[in-house]
Amino acid sequence: PYDGPPAAEIIRKRSEFLSPALFHFYKKPLNVVAGKMQYLFDETGRRYLDAFAGIATVCCGHCHPEIINAIINQTKKLQHSTVVYLNHAIVDFAEALASKMPGDLKVVFFTNSGTEANELAMLIARLYTGCQDIVSLRNAYHGNAAGTMGATAQSNYKFNVVQSGVHHALNPDQYRGVFGSDGEKYAKDVQEIIDFGTSGHVAGFISEAIQGVGGILELAPGYLPAVYKIIKKAGGLCIADEVQSGFARTGSHFWGFEAHGVVPDIVTMAKGIGNGIPIGAVVTTPEIAQVLTRRNYFNTFGGNPVCTAGAHAVLKVLEKEKLQENALIVGSYLKDRLKVLQEKHEIIGDVRGRGLMLGVELVTDRKLKTPAIVEILHAMEEMKEIGVLVGKGGFYGNVFRITPPLCFTKDDADFLVDAMDLAMSKL
């Protein structure tokens, strides 16, 4: 039984003591008091199917017992010291993580978040190349510190940050983009940015394989190979932001970039890597990693034994429970069912994504693609009443983001689609 304060008191304290910029989903916000695998529970004990998983973060399921045990066991032994001493937890996990990487990507820098990982990746690219210019994609989200906020390209998430040396390229958006699914055409914009906006040399290019915050947009096929070639020719490094699309979520591959047949120079990750504990990482080649020996790069908590022991357990659970395969099977099934739902409801303009990283874009007019901004709120509210939690995103806020824990089942998928069907019928 719940022995905490009532929701009203939490709301009052939130508004008095927390950031005035905080917002919450739902008219009557959900008071989540517990989580177990793909479920969340409110203070009355009501169970909700969690198809958002803390924004693609809880990959193995809420409070997975093996991950909890790894965290507890390490916490009892040693919580923190500093990297100037030895401890096996950090090297064990670094080795395991490196084994999941293609090519010569094997040197790991640990951070505490995705923002920090991307800041470090951009720093490394700038040091390695001696150039400043970085190309990122419009509609991308890469973090909220100075550099990453610059690379982020959605006005919703940008304050008046100084963004010298960042260029935002045309987004290879297969739904709204001018060139449809022709990735190579969009890639030409990157060449033009380099030709007309830089000295001809750049530090690098950063992108997600599937834009998460941007509304589950999978980059048009052919785009990444073409852009990676252009960037390499301009002397730059290619950074893959796998904060959301990594860690088996896309089902077909462990990393999102693998579906595009490219090998990045630097890979960044967070969220899924820790199943809910704060950890991020940058992985690069031994040669590129050398640039950080020029000065001291120091991070107090990055790679601490508790987080690395927990993250190591995540990797083991992903493998033991074959969660990548499950993401592929259940994700494909769910996507097929959503496509059928699209035939029934005019308001569904697009169904997209890969594995258990799916998006459903709502529009009031399929031809004009007018974002259904109000309707999505009603549908979300209705789905919550039925007991299903989904996320929301995209530049216009009209895209359902479906990123459940990877232990999601076909029954869960059926429940989700039935709930969405009912919610849309009531619009």
Distance of alpha carbon 75 from alpha carbon 79, whole angstroms: 5
Positions 102 through 141 that interact with ligand PMP (CB under 6 A): 113-115, 118, 141
Question: Which lies closer to ligand PMP via its Cβ, residue 144 or residue 332?
Answer: 144
Under the binding rule (CB under 6 A), the answer on residue 142 touching ligand PMP is yes
Q: Which among 280, 278, 281 has a CA at the least distance from the CA of 306?
A: 278
Alpha helices, DSSP H, located in 49-172: 53-56, 65-77, 88-98, 114-129, 146-151
Q: What is the largest CA-CA distance in the chain?
A: 64
Query: Which member of 133, 189, 241, 361 binds ligand PMP (CB under 6 A)?
Result: 241
Question: Which lies closer to ligand PMP via its Cβ, residue 55 or residue 127?
Answer: 55
Nearest distance from C-beta of residue 144 to ligand PMP, angstroms = 6
Nearest distance from C-beta of residue 342 to ligand PMP, angstroms = 25
The 3-state DSSP composition of the chain as helix, strand, coil percent (nearest 5) reads 40, 20, 40
Where b means 16+ CB within 10 Å and e means fewer, 65-89 reads eebeebbeebeeeeeeeeeeeebeb
- Which window, 130-138, 187-195, 205-213, 324-332, contacts ligand PMP (CB under 6 A)? 205-213
Q: Which residues contact 349 (CB under 8 A, 6 or more apart)?
A: 175, 361, 362, 363, 366, 369
Query: What is the SS3 assignment for 135?
Result: strand
Question: Which lies closer to ligand PMP via its Cβ, residue 240 or residue 334?
Answer: 240
Question: Which lies closer to ligand PMP via its Cβ, residue 121 or residue 234?
Answer: 121
Question: Which lies closer to ligand PMP via its Cβ, residue 147 or residue 183?
Answer: 147
Q: What angle, 0 to 180 degrees and rounded to 10, lies between the N-to-C axes of helices 305-320 and 88-98?
A: 40
Question: Which lies closer to ligand PMP via its Cβ, residue 169 or residue 372?
Answer: 169
Distance of alpha carbon 241 from alpha carbon 1, whole angstroms: 41
Question: Which lies closer to ligand PMP via its Cβ, residue 213 or residue 334?
Answer: 213
Nearest distance from C-beta of residue 282 to ligand PMP, angstroms = 12
Phi then psi dihedrals of residue 158, to 5 deg: -115, 125
Look at the chain and count its residues.
Answer: 427
Query: Which member of 35, 54, 61, 143 binds ligand PMP (CB under 6 A)?
Result: 143
- How many chain residues interact with ligand PMP (CB under 6 A)? 15
- Which window, 124-132, 165-173, 198-206, 238-246, contacts ligand PMP (CB under 6 A)? 238-246
Helix (H) or strand (E) holding 360: strand 357-365
Nearest distance from C-beta of residue 138 to ligand PMP, angstroms = 14
Rg (CA), the chain: 21
- Which window, 12-20, 163-171, 239-247, 311-319, contacts ligand PMP (CB under 6 A)? 239-247
Phi then psi dihedrals of residue 159, to 5 deg: -95, -170
Q: In the Cβ-directed half-sphere of 118, how many Cα atoms lie within 13 Å?
A: 29
Nearest distance from C-beta of residue 207 to ligand PMP, angstroms = 9
Nearest distance from C-beta of residue 241 to ligand PMP, angstroms = 5
Question: Which lies closer to ligand PMP via its Cβ, residue 225 or residue 278?
Answer: 278
* CA 358 vs CA 38, 334, 400: distances in Å: 16, 9, 8
Are 235 and 202 in contact by the 8 Å Cβ rule? The answer is yes
Contacts of range 195-199, beta carbons closer than 8 Å, 24 or more positions apart: 197/133, 197/167, 198/131, 198/133, 198/167, 198/234, 199/131, 199/133
Question: Which lies closer to ligand PMP via its Cβ, residue 74 or residue 113?
Answer: 113
Question: Which lies closer to ligand PMP via its Cβ, residue 213 or residue 348?
Answer: 213
Query: Which member of 133, 173, 189, 208 binds ligand PMP (CB under 6 A)?
Result: 208
The residue whose Cβ lies closest to ligand PMP is 114
- Which window, 73-81, 126-134, 206-214, 300-308, contacts ligand PMP (CB under 6 A)? 206-214
Positions 50 through 79 that interact with ligand PMP (CB under 6 A): 55
Positions 263 through 322 that interact with ligand PMP (CB under 6 A): 270
Question: Which lies closer to ligand PMP via its Cβ, residue 121 or residue 360?
Answer: 121
Nearest distance from C-beta of residue 210 to ligand PMP, angstroms = 9
Distance of alpha carbon 45 from alpha carbon 163, whole angstroms: 47
Which positions lie near ligand PMP, rule CB under 6 A? 55, 113-115, 118, 141-143, 208, 212-213, 241, 243-244, 270
